[in-house]
Each structure stands twice: as structure tokens, then as C-alpha cells.
Amino acid sequence: MAFFTNKTVVITGASDGIGAALAKAFAKQGTKLAICARNKEKLDTVAQNCKELGAKDVLTVTTDVSKMEECEHFIQETIKKYGTIDVLINNAGISMRACFVDTDIEVIEKVMNINFWGAVYCTKFALPEIIKNQGSVVVVSSVAGFKGLPARTGYSASKFALHGFFESLRCELQPDNVHILIACPGFTNTNIRNTALTATGDTQKETPLEESRLMSADTVAKAILRAIEKRKRTIVLTTEGKLTVLLNKFFPKFIDKKAYQKLAKEPNTPLKKWK
């Protein structure tokens, strides 16, 4: 993909999972990278890997995307170093698993602050440069942004909010020829379920899924790179995800029941058993 060579690519939440896979995939294309996350040690390891894979340069900035001033600092440091931004990928995110009736409201706020506001903050500060370059803004979302999932109220709310925000922004930016991609990977083999929040805000520390059977982060990264180059609007990557989005348009009550039954079978589910 010579399309990306020498372009400046910014990725949030790049210390592991899809973010790290994206950084490495772009590194192979000879890009200049700016990556951020909260864990400096993991971030530095990803940066070193990217340099070995062929990145022109890699900037790392330890950042909590839920804080506006840290997002602004990250974007300013990127522009200071590289002079511009061509692609922004809002990947940083956190999940949750708890029934709303049992959930501390601070858990919902934390999920929204990271997943939604983190993307809004970074986009706000990077957008002038992206407009200049007629570049791309990407948000890594989820099928949960099309279909609300039980025991994921805060997570689904954050993804629905992202879809509304970026669809509106896409409409606004038509005269500027800015590309906006909403990428929905489906269940992917990452650390997001281990770090998902419980009803009290503690981390779940274990996944309820058989991770080895899920789509790999590298597969997701390759699909996102192709979608950026082709300037696609939205991608849903799994067959299950595509069926869920399609059938929910026509048979929402049926999909409500199926979603509940599926997630109620997870180990240690907070959902009541229902036949």
C-alpha cells in the first residue's frame, strides 16, 4: 500500500489489541506514526516494534484520552514533530459487563468519557490538519453501536453516540472532502474483555469468551487499512455482526431475544437465565 508511505498517522489506545496491530500494519507501509496510551512501558514496546517493521518515525505520548488537555497535548506534539496529520484513528476504548440496575453511575460515565469524549477531543484538535490534507478520521466502533446489547448499556451508549457524532461530522465535512470511516470489528481477540468494568468499576480480569476462536487484531487492522485507502464509510467485519445489523432493521424484537439468550450463556453472566 504505497498509498500510506510517508503519511502521518495518529492512533489512540495503541499499547495493545487493535491499536497495536494498526500501528504495526501502518509501520510496514513506511508511515510516520504518533501513538498514545496510558501504559508507557507497553507503548514504548509497540513503538520499538514499529521502528523495526519500517516506520519512518514513531512518536509516543502517554495519554489518558478521557482528559481533554491530554488529548490536546498529544495532537500538538504530533503536529510539532511532523508538521501535519493525514490519518487519525480513534481506537482507545473500554468495555463493561453489568446490568444497569446494579451499576454505579460512575461506571457509565467512565466508559463514555473514554470511548466517546476521547474520540471527540482528539478529532477536535486534529481536524484542521486533516481538512488541509483531505485526510481520514477513523473511529473503531462496534456492532453495539447498531444494536444495544444487554449488560453493556454504557458500552452500547458510547458506540451509538460515536455513530451519531461521526455521521453528523461526515455530513458537515462533505465540502472539504474529508473521509470518515466507522469501523465495527465484531468480537476480536484482544484484552478488552479482561479490562472490562464490572458494576462497581473494578476490572473483570477474565474473558467470558473463547478468545482463540475470535477474529485476530491483525485481521482487523488489515481490513481498516484497506477501508481507509478505498475511503469507505462503514465496515462491519464479521458475518454474525453483519447479520445482526441487517436483521435488527426488520426484526428488532427477534434480535432482542437472540442477543439476550446469547449473552446470558456467558460464564458468570450478570443476566438472569431466560429460556
Among all residues, which ones are annotated catalytic? Answer: 155
**H/E element holding 248?**
helix 239-250
Dig out the grid coordinates for 97 from the structure.
459487563
CA distance 24 to 238: 22
The grid cell for 66 is 478521557
CB 194 within 8 A of CB 151: no
Q: Residue 96 in contact with residue 152, Cβ under 8 Å? A: yes
Q: How many residues does the chain have?
A: 275
CA 133-135-139 angle, 5° bins: 150
Please state, in angstroms and rounded to a whole number, the distance separating the CA atoms of residues 114 and 223.
24
End-to-end CA gap in the chain: 49
Going by C-alpha positions, the residue among 233, 191, 229 that lies closest to residue 211 is 191
Complete DSSP assignment for 145-173: GTS--TTBHHHHHHHHHHHHHHHHHHHHT
